[in-house]
Structure 1
Amino acid sequence: MASPQESTQKFRWHYADFDDSRFPNPGRSLFFFVVLISIILLVALLFLYARWACNVEYSPPPAPPHPTISSAPAPPWGLDSTTINCLPIVLYKASVDAGSIMESECCICLGMFGDGDKVKELPGCKHVFHSECVDKWLNTHSSCPLCRASLRADSPV
C-alpha cells in the first residue's frame, strides 16, 4: 500500500511532455475530423439549395395582348331558336314502320320512349330524341348527338 505521503503528492505533467507518437495518426486525427464534418455540411447545404430551387414555381411572363381582327361576335356553336323550333315533332309509336325500326330510347337522357311521346326527328339522319332533350343539345351544338351529322344549312356535309 502507498504511504500517505505518496497519495498526497500531486500528479504534475505538461502538455509538451505528452508524446502522441504511439497513436496511429499522431496530430492528424482532429484535422481529418474537421474536414469530414465540413464536407458533410457542404453536401447537406447543396442538397437543401437544390430542393429549394426545384420547388420554386415557374411563372412565364405575361403574354402580350392579341389584337382583335374584327369586332363582330363569333358565330354561336349551337343552332338558333327558330331553326330548332322548325324541326318536325312526331308522336312515337312502338311499331315497325315501312320495314325500319325506330329507336326505342333517347340517347341524351337514356330514357325510354313511350307510345304517344313527342319526339323530334332530325333531318338527314332521321334520329329521334325527346323534344326537351334535343332542344337543350341543339342550343349548344349544331350536330346530331348520336351520329354527329351537321344540321347547319350552310354546312357542306
Structure 2
Amino acid sequence: MSTQCEKRIEIAAPPTCGIFPEDSSGSRLGASRKTIYTVYVRLKVGEDPKYSPGVGRKPSVHFNFLKSAFKKKPNSSIDDMARKIKKSTSAVSWDFKKTGGKSLRRIPRPMLTEQQRKVHMEREKKILNHLKGTCGLIVIFSDAKTFTVNPVFDW
C-alpha cells in the first residue's frame, strides 16, 4: 500500500508523458479524478506535486512576542489576539498557557455586584414576608438569618 506522497508522484508521471487528466481514468492509476486533476494543476503552475496544503505542524508563536502583546492589553481575548497575529486560536491559547498566562474566562469573578445583592435582598424580604405572614400574622425579616414577629399577634 503506497502512501499519499508516493501516489502523487505516480500520478505526476502521466501528465509529463502527454497523458492528461481528461484522458486518464482514476481506476488505471488507482486514484480519484480529483486527485489526478489536483496534481495536474500543481504541475501546470510549477508547484511540487508532493506538497499538500494544511499538512504538517502549524507555525508556533514566539513566547516573547506573545507576552509583550498580552502585557500591553491584558483584557484582550485570545481570539482577538490570534486574529491580529494571524495564527490559529488553539496555537495562541496553548502558547499563552505555556507562558504562564490565564484566560479571563477562568478568573473567578463575583456573580452579583453589591447593588444587585441589595436589590435581591429587598425582594427576598418582601417575598418571605408575603409567604410567612398568614392569618394577619406579620413577620418582619431584617436580614437572611433574623426575623421578628409582630408582638401584638404573638401568642
TM over 0.5: no
Q: Normalised by the shorter chain, which TM-score bucket?
A: under 0.3
TM-score for both structures, normalised by structure 2: 0.22
For CA contacts below 8 A with separation 6 or more, give which structure has more relative contact order.
1
Greater share of helix: 2
Greater share of strand: 1
Structure having the higher Rg: 1
TM-score for both structures, normalised by structure 1: 0.22
